[in-house]
């Protein structure tokens, strides 16, 4: 029987509540489909930071590397600056394993109300460049912590980095075989170097996909159009920062951040890819047992897809869809009063 080794990092806040629920569903579906998941748990995150002064140990990447995939909850703690948590765990893993494609589907499940009145047909994917751009951490301080201090933060856009993420987006549009449209997010009217390179690379790659329609939107116009005409999008591709921001809009218009799944992919499969809900550690609801587990469960389905267990992935998605369509068992973010575990129980019941 095939066994996949999955590194599990629950992380902080609600991460510790959603990951066990995701594992329950993954274990059930693996059993049904005749494969094994060998989970390796890593207690990294804020608690590790308070004890050892770092979010994960020095050899963390070496420990993760042999695994087939990484299943992550959330990182972030109110008593630790966000740049410490992000740069101490999430970003180093994305970079070390060249997980250059951050894939964030925005799908409005039947039975779930979008906060956008009258919008019923939302089905697109945000593809975020995940290893360079505005998150490259190039820069520094001058006169650090003095009244006249100066900060310089450079963005890094490489032709290779832009071309490969744009190509990934086009290939995804072909694979999805839906609206066959790729939207590029730019700001070349104001950023006359990085975004001009972005636009040129987009046009060059687009020319190799004549069957795919294209559009190019300034990031501010894209934010407006995610609200005004979400049904028009198919695959949206943009830089690390632009799509980090836009994918929060795409997450909320499908009804809740608690439904937004994501994958950090190394499309070349040289290294483990990482799967996580888009939401963070949500300290305001942590420990109350009410966080929505579905974003994590759907991230687990994306992981199964990446592990080439497509039937199992579809079954998890169908079970989630059935629970949402019934509308009986829902956490408070979706207007219900069910607990995290009760929602998972309902998904397991659908899986049989
Ligand atoms: N599970 C996602 C998570 O913990 N997100 C925290 C965060 O700050 N993410 C920023 C990012 O995805 O770049």
Ligand 1 centre to CA of 48 (Å) is 18
Whether 152 is covered by a domain: the verdict is: yes
Give dist(CA 283, CA 65) in Å, integer: 30
Task: Report whether 125 contacts 106 (CB < 8 A).
Answer: yes
Whether 104 is covered by a domain: the verdict is: no
174 and 77 in one domain? no
220 is a catalytic site residue = yes
- State which residues form the domain around 185: 113-253
Q: Which of 247, 42, 277 is nearest to 124 (CA)?
A: 247
Its pTM stands at 0.96
182 and 84 in one domain? no
Whether 107 is covered by a domain: the verdict is: no
Ligand 1 centre to CA of 157 (Å) is 21
Domain edge (last residue) among 233, 253, 273: 253
160 and 33 in one domain? no
72 and 176 in one domain? no
Whether 106 is covered by a domain: the verdict is: no
241 and 118 in one domain? yes
95 and 31 in one domain? yes
Whether 90 is covered by a domain: the verdict is: yes
60 and 95 in one domain? yes
pLDDT tens-digit map of 244-282: 999 999 999 999 999 999 999 999 999 999 999 999 999
Q: Which of 98, 123, 199, 248 is catalytic?
A: 248
Does ligand 1 lie within 6 Å of residue 276's CB atom?
A: yes
pLDDT for 253 equals: 98
What b/e sequence results for 214-232 when a residue is b if at least 16 CB atoms lie within 10 Å of its CB, and e otherwise?
bebbbbeebbebbeeebee
249 and 327 in one domain? no
Q: Which of 125, 122, 126 is nearest to 253 (CA)?
A: 122
pLDDT for 42 equals: 98
245 and 275 in one domain? no
203 and 127 in one domain? yes
From 13, 14, 76, 135, the mutation candidate for ligand 1 (largest count of ligand atoms within 8 A of CB) is 76
212 and 149 in one domain? yes
Ligand 1 centre to CA of 52 (Å) is 22
Domain edge (last residue) among 193, 228, 253: 253
Whether 67 is covered by a domain: the verdict is: yes
Whether 32 is covered by a domain: the verdict is: yes
249 and 132 in one domain? yes
From 15, 70, 90, the mutation candidate for ligand 1 (largest count of ligand atoms within 8 A of CB) is 90
Residue with tokens 């579809």: 314
pLDDT along the chain (352 residues), means of 10: 97 98 98 98 97 97 98 97 94 97 98 96 98 95 97 97 98 98 98 97 98 98 98 98 97 98 98 98 97 98 98 98 98 98 98 94
107 is a catalytic site residue = no
Q: What percent of the chain has pLDDT over 90?
A: 100
pLDDT for 301 equals: 98
pLDDT for 33 equals: 97
CATH of residue 237's domain is 3.40.718.10
Whether 105 is covered by a domain: the verdict is: no
Domain edge (last residue) among 191, 222, 253: 253
Ligand 1 centre to CA of 32 (Å) is 32
pLDDT for 47 equals: 96
Does ligand 1 lie within 6 Å of residue 290's CB atom?
A: no
Number of domains in the chain: 2
């Amino acid at each position: 029987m095939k066994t996949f080794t999955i590194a599990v990092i629950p992380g902080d806040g609600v991460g510790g509540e959603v990951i066990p629920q995701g594992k329950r569903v993954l274990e059930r579906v693996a059993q049904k489909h005749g494969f094994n998941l060998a989970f390796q748990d890593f207690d990294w995150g804020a608690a590790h930071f308070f004890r050892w002064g770092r979010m994960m140990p020095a050899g963390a990447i070496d420990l993760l590397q042999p695994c087939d995939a990484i299943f992550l909850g959330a990182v972030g703690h109110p008593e630790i600056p966000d740049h410490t948590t992000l740069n101490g765990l999430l970003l180093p893993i994305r970079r070390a394993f060249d997980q250059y494609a951050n894939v964030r589907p925005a799908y409005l499940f039947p039975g779930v109300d979008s906060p956008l009145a009258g919008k019923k047909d939302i089905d697109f994917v945000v593809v975020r460049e995940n290893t360079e751009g505005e998150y490259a951490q190039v820069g520094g301080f001058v006169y650090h912590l003095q009244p006249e201090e100066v900060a310089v933060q450079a963005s890094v856009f490489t032709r290779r980095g832009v071309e490969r993420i744009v190509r990934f987006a086009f290939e995804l549009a072909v694979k999805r075989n839906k609206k066959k449209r790729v939207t590029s997010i730019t700001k070349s009217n104001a950023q006359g170097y990085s975004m001009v390179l972005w636009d040129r690379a987009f046009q060059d790659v687009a020319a190799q996909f004549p069957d795919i329609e294209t559009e190019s939107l300034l990031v501010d116009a894209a934010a407006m159009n995610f609200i005004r005409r979400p049904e028009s999008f198919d695959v949206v591709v943009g830089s690390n920062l632009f799509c980090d921001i836009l994918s929060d809009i795409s997450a909320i218009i499908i009804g809740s951040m608690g439904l937004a799944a994501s994958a950090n992919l190394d499309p070349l499969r040289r290294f483990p890819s990482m799967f996580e809900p888009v939401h963070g550690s949500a300290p305001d609801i942590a420990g109350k047992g009410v966080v929505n587990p579905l974003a994590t469960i759907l991230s687990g389905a994306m992981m199964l897809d990446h592990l080439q267990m497509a039937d199992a992935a579809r079954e998890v998605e169908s079970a989630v869809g059935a629970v949402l369509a019934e509308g009986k068992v829902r956490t408070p973010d979706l207007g219900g009063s069910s607990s995290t575990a009760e929602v998972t129980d309902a998904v397991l019941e659908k899986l049989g």
